[in-house]
Every structure is written in C-alpha cells, then in structure tokens.
Amino acid sequence: MLSIAVVKEKYNVSVTDDVAEAILIGRYGAAHHYAEAPMLFGKKKTS
C-alpha cells in the first residue's frame, strides 16, 4: 500500500498496488543501471 501512496505523491496518478510497484521498480532500475543499458541490449557504449 505504501507504493500506491508514493506513486500518487510523486506522479499524481491513481494506480493499483501492482502497477505502483512496477513503476517504482522501473524507476529504480533506470536510476541505478542506466550506464549498463547499452551492454544489456548489445549496443556499444559511446563516450
């Protein structure tokens, strides 16, 4: 239930518990593994 409150506060949307958790997991992954994304999808990293 906490995930629903966090998503409501941050994004001002009403979602189910499952959707709220998926949003927060996706945001975590994007924030903490962004640099690894090219490697995960078989693309060369350009600097």
Give pLDDT, residue 38: 64
Quick one: pLDDT band at residue 47, thresholds 50, 70, 90? low
Which residue do the tokens 């979602």 mark?
A: 15
User: Which run of H or E residues covers position 11?
Assistant: helix 2-11
As a whole number of angstroms, the distance between CA 37 and CA 23 comes to: 18
- List pLDDT tens digits, range 5-42: 999 999 999 999 999 999 999 988 888 766 666 666 66
pLDDT for the residue numbered 44? 61
